[in-house]
């Protein structure tokens, strides 16, 4: 049974938005609240507005990209796969470049993060001007509706809530390495200026893009990084032969068709088949999420890492203790815990990725979190991205365990926003 938290008693429907009396419990008369103004929140808002859905959108536009990713980073996704979806033409990354007087670019152009941030803000100003740059403090249940409290203290009722709060709440820190003070160990998502580590010895844990790019940027900023990777070797992508997939010879295109996730039939299936992936057994979906586009560095990183940054492959960190103002790491060979070595560093940087866990979304009241049915921490979602709590939607990374790897990338915004906005407009209730 939904709980009455007192919200319905306290709040009135604003005049002109469904009446002036007390709430009578119709979610359709109340705004849909989108929490998040990153690519997924912005795309969702754009598609909701096209569907004529009353909405309020909260968040700092492109905050994760400007505050939780390193300055000087390049996108691993190609320009053609880095556009935020809108129902109308004219809002793609290439349109932004044209508006700024820049020419077209293809697959061999790594997009600088600064360009992506500027593009996202340009998109927001033109397509989602209603964004309120405020933080939502909490979401509670209120007679089948949602009570929303902002940091400013404002409280209001919402008929539906879309969680587009992104990756940062899901930053994964191995529990055995988190007992140290923040000046000795931190997750990559806590940094945008790696230059602060200049002159320091930094142990970087991980083998993916984030680890390898952080190591390159640290090295270029005058720090002394060492990468520690469980993988037997670190992998880098291969530079695209041509700027446009359509310029590749026909046999190559048949064998490896282009897709927003990269060339190949399996990547094409992941990029286009989110609706089908949802029907696969959950173990298969979770395995796909781990293995498709597994850890590797972008092709342009190879020359910035190889022969410049020491990489200790096939090793894991067993323990980390504070010592002499730095950190002493006990490193063991993967599969042979007897082979150990010691590494001393000034800081341990965890490039250990992100794991979806609804319990980490403390923005949602505990009783609401308990109501969300999950599998391995991820919310069960309907084909319209609705959770087991009617009216509560999840998009972006939180939806990747359901719809597959494309939801980890900006390229998934079209699939997600179109479906989600359609489900909200239809007011349909389908079991997740
Ligand atoms: C290092 C790194 C590199 C990446 N490179 C690429 C790449 O090359 N290509 C690619 O496609 N993807 C890349 N990604 C993934 C990409 O970041 C995500 O796909 C994308 O940002 C997800 O968008 P989002 O809108 O879900 O979340 P985010 O971009 O994380 O946005 C979250 C939004 O939620 C808001 N928010 C959070 N909490 C609150 C609150 N309480 N109240 C109000 N607002 C709130 C924030 O202000 C922000 O606006 C990369 C990720 C990382 C970490």
pLDDT band, very low/low/confident/very high, at 201 (cuts 50, 70, 90):
very high
- Looking at the structure, do residues 133 and 223 belong to the same domain, yes or no? no
Q: Print the domain residue range for 231.
A: 175-236+296-350
List C-alpha distances in Å: 217 to 212, 225, 367. Answer: 9, 9, 43
Best residue among 410, 413, 416 to mutate for probing ligand 1, ranked by most atoms within 8 Å of CB: 410
Strand order across the beta sheet in which 185-187 lies: 185-187, 347-350, 201-205, 224-229, 311-313
- Looking at the structure, do residues 344 and 383 belong to the same domain, yes or no? no
Spatial separation of the C-alpha atoms in residues 12 and 22, rounded to whole Å:
5
Does any ligand 1 atom lie closer than 6 A to the CB of residue 58?
yes
Q: What's the whole-model pTM score?
A: 0.93
Does any ligand 1 atom lie closer than 6 A to the CB of residue 170?
no
pLDDT band, very low/low/confident/very high, at 17 (cuts 50, 70, 90):
very low
State the distance from the centre of ligand 1 to the C-alpha of 194, rounded, in angstroms.
19
Does any ligand 1 atom lie closer than 6 A to the CB of residue 166?
yes
Q: Does residue 323 lie in a domain region?
A: yes
- Looking at the structure, do residues 35 and 80 belong to the same domain, yes or no? yes
State the distance from the centre of ligand 1 to the C-alpha of 326, rounded, in angstroms.
31
Q: Does residue 257 lie in a domain region?
A: no
- Cβ–Cβ < 8 Å for 291, 231: no
Spatial separation of the C-alpha atoms in residues 5 and 11, rounded to whole Å:
11
- Looking at the structure, do residues 312 and 419 belong to the same domain, yes or no? no
Spatial separation of the C-alpha atoms in residues 55 and 296, rounded to whole Å:
39
Best residue among 34, 35, 36, 169 to mutate for probing ligand 1, ranked by most atoms within 8 Å of CB: 36
- Looking at the structure, do residues 128 and 114 belong to the same domain, yes or no? yes
Domain edge (last residue) among 283, 317, 350: 350
Token pair recorded at residue 266: 């399996």
- Terminal C-alpha separation, the chain: 19
Could you read off the pLDDT of 80-118 as tens digits, one per residue?
999 999 999 999 999 999 999 999 999 999 999 999 999
Q: Does residue 264 lie in a domain region?
A: no
pLDDT band, very low/low/confident/very high, at 21 (cuts 50, 70, 90):
very low
Number of domains in the chain: 2
- Looking at the structure, do residues 64 and 150 belong to the same domain, yes or no? yes
Q: Does residue 255 lie in a domain region?
A: no
- Cβ–Cβ < 8 Å for 174, 185: no
Best residue among 165, 193, 408 to mutate for probing ligand 1, ranked by most atoms within 8 Å of CB: 165
Strands 336-345 and 326-333: antiparallel
Query: Of the ranges 28-42, 236-250, 368-382, 407-421, which one carries the lowest mean pLDDT score?
Result: 236-250
Does any ligand 1 atom lie closer than 6 A to the CB of residue 39?
yes
Strand intervals (E) in 90-209: 136-142, 145-150, 155-158, 160-163, 185-187, 201-205
Q: Does residue 282 lie in a domain region?
A: no
- Looking at the structure, do residues 200 and 310 belong to the same domain, yes or no? yes
- Looking at the structure, do residues 58 and 86 belong to the same domain, yes or no? yes
Could you read off the pLDDT of 133-181 as tens digits, one per residue?
999 999 999 888 999 999 999 999 999 999 999 999 999 999 888 889 9
Q: Does residue 247 lie in a domain region?
A: no
State the distance from the centre of ligand 1 to the C-alpha of 135, rounded, in angstroms.
15
Q: Does residue 39 lie in a domain region?
A: yes
Could you read off the pLDDT of 64-78 as tens digits, one per residue?
999 999 999 999 999
Domain edge (last residue) among 350, 374, 394: 350
- Looking at the structure, do residues 206 and 310 belong to the same domain, yes or no? yes
Does any ligand 1 atom lie closer than 6 A to the CB of residue 167?
yes
| Closest ligand 1 atom number to CA of residue 363 | 41
Does any ligand 1 atom lie closer than 6 A to the CB of residue 416?
no
Q: Does residue 290 lie in a domain region?
A: no
At which residue do the structure tokens 């365990």 appear?
A: 401
For position 12, what pLDDT does the model report? 46
- Looking at the structure, do residues 48 and 194 belong to the same domain, yes or no? no
* For ligand 1, atom 22: residue with the closest CA: 166
SS3 (DSSP) at 186:
strand
- Of 408 and 26, which is predicted with more confidence? 408
Q: 187: domain CATH number?
A: 3.50.50.60
Domain edge (last residue) among 335, 350, 365: 350
- Looking at the structure, do residues 88 and 116 belong to the same domain, yes or no? yes
For position 10, what pLDDT does the model report? 54
**Distance of alpha carbon 183 from the chain centroid:** 25
Does any ligand 1 atom lie closer than 6 A to the CB of residue 165?
yes
Best residue among 41, 191, 361, 398 to mutate for probing ligand 1, ranked by most atoms within 8 Å of CB: 41
pLDDT band, very low/low/confident/very high, at 14 (cuts 50, 70, 90):
very low
Does any ligand 1 atom lie closer than 6 A to the CB of residue 69?
yes
Does any ligand 1 atom lie closer than 6 A to the CB of residue 164?
yes
Residues in the chain: 432
- Looking at the structure, do residues 120 and 132 belong to the same domain, yes or no? yes
Best residue among 63, 158, 172, 293 to mutate for probing ligand 1, ranked by most atoms within 8 Å of CB: 63
- Indicate whether 410 pLDDT > 90: yes
Spatial separation of the C-alpha atoms in residues 379 and 388, rounded to whole Å:
8
Does any ligand 1 atom lie closer than 6 A to the CB of residue 27?
no
């Amino acid at each position: 049974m939904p709980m009455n938290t007192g919200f319905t008693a306290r709040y009135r429907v604003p005049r002109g938005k469904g009446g002036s009396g007390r709430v009578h419990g119709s979610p359709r008369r109340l705004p849909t609240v989108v929490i998040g103004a990153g690519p997924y929140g912005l795309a969702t808002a754009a598609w909701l507005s096209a569907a004529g859905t009353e909405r309020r959108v909260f968040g700092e536009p492109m905050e994760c990209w400007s505050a939780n990713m390193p300055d000087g980073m390049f996108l691993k996704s190609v320009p053609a796969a880095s556009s935020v979806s809108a129902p109308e033409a004219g809002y793609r990354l290439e349109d932004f470049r044209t508006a700024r007087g820049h020419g077209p670019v293809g697959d061999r152009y790594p997009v600088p993060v600064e360009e992506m941030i500027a593009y996202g803000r340009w998109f927001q100003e033109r397509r989602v001007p209603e964004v309120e740059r405020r933080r939502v403090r909490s979401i509670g249940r209120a007679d089948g509706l949602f009570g929303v409290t902002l940091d400013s203290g404002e409280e209001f009722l919402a008929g539906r809530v879309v969680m587009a709060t992104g990756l940062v709440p899901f930053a994964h820190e191995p529990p055995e390495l988190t007992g140290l003070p923040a000046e000795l160990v931190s997750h990559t998502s806590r940094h945008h200026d790696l230059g602060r580590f200049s002159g320091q010895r930094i142990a970087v844990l991980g083998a993916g893009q984030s680890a390898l790019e952080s190591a390159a940027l640290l090295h270029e900023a005058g720090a002394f990084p060492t990468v520690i990777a469980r993988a037997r070797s670190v992998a880098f992508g291969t530079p695209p032969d041509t700027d446009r997939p359509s310029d590749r010879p026909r046999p190559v295109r048949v064998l490896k068709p282009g897709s927003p996730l990269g060339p190949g039939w399996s990547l094409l299936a992941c990029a286009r088949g989110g609706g089908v992936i949802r029907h696969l057994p959950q173990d298969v979906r979770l395995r796909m999420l781990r293995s498709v586009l597994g850890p590797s560095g972008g092709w342009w990183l190879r020359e910035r890492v190889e022969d410049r940054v020491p990489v200790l492959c096939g090793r894991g960190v067993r323990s980390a203790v504070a010592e002499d103002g730095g950190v002493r790491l006990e490193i063991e060979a993967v599969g042979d815990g007897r082979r150990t070595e010691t590494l001393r560093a000034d800081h341990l940087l965890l490039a250990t990725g992100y794991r979806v866990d609804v319990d980490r979304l403390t923005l949602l009241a505990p009783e609401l979190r308990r109501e969300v049915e999950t599998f391995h921490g991820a919310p069960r979602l309907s084909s319209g991205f609705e959770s087991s709590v009617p009216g509560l939607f999840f998009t972006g990374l939180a939806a990747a365990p359901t719809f597959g790897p494309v939801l980890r990338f900006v390229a998934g915004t079209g699939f997600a926003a179109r479906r989600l906005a359609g489900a909200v407009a239809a007011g349909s209730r389908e079991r997740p």
